[in-house]
A and B are shown apart, each in its own frame.
Chain A
Amino acid sequence: GAVVSQHPSWVICKSGTSVKIECRSLDFQATTMFWYRQFPKQSLMLMATSNEGSKATYEQGVEKDKFLINHASLTLSTLTVTSAHPEDSSFYICSARNGVSNQPQHFGDGTRLSIL
């Protein structure tokens, strides 16, 4: 149980392209979803938290117009990297949680984004 599917697993695209990443909870309702960015050998950096039907809450320093997050249903959240540039290349991971804050987060397998 508690499976989170993230798609695509990797994407390579040209600078200036917008890229959409999907995060789905397959067997539970995700009241809250999280988007992280991870650099090699570094910690998960929380980018934003989203609750179903509400606007996402972005962490300090994360541009909300650059990283558009939509959490339209209890099973789907999307992250769109708009007008991506090489410095946006990274490993993006989503997680989903059902219920109160101390419940575990269930992670997708990440999306490796490479911008040429």
Chain B
Amino acid sequence: SQKIEQNSEALNIQEGKTATLTCNYTNYSPAYLQWYRQDPGRGPVFLLLIRENEKEKRKERLKVTFDTTLKQSLFHITASQPADSATYLCALGWLNDMRFGAGTRLTVKP
């Protein structure tokens, strides 16, 4: 069956450290992958997109990798801050379809 699994439901780290979130998938062949941030009671906000032929993308303190052999994407937040605390969703996409993972709730402690 098709699955999108985000490493853990919750991740707690200390301010200043690098947060690494994992998105694994099975029985999908996505053409691209997107990461979103969702705050409680709000809609998701787009962060980064990476295509299947790209290995890595960066945007300020954010970095995404995409390994189609391992069927995995890693999402890194360097120099994390308490304001980075939120739920992060990965989404796999192809043609006109996109499916979301359940998300990882990140808490950055001061």
Contacts and interface: CB of A to CB of B under 8 A. Distances in A.
Interface of A: 4, 6, 32, 41-44, 46, 49, 93, 95, 101-102, 104-110, 112
B11 to A, nearest CB: 14
Task: Enumerate the 4 nearest inter-chain pairs by beta-carbon distance, A residue then B residue, closest first.
Answer: A107-B43, A104-B46, A43-B102, A44-B100
Given A41-B9, A107-B43, A46 B99 contact: yes
Contacts of A4: 43
B93 A6 contact: no
B49 A108 contact: no
B2 interface: no
Given A101-B93, A101-B95, A106 B46 contact: yes
The main secondary structure of chain B at its interface with chain A is strand
Contacts of B46: 104-106
A105 B36 CA distance: 10
A41 B102 contact: yes
A6 B18 CA distance: 34
A44 B42 CA distance: 12
B98 interface: yes
B32 A43 contact: no
A101 to B, nearest CB: 5
Contacts of B89: 43-44
Interface hub of B36, B94, B98, B99 (most chain A Cβ within 10 A):
B98
Contacts of A101: 31, 93-98
A110 B43 contact: yes
Interface in B56-110: 89, 93-103
Nearest to B87: A41
Contacts of B34: 104
Contacts of B100: 43-44, 46
Interface in B24-67: 31-32, 34, 36, 41-46, 49, 51
Contacts of B93: 101-102
Contact of B43 (A6, A42, A46): A6
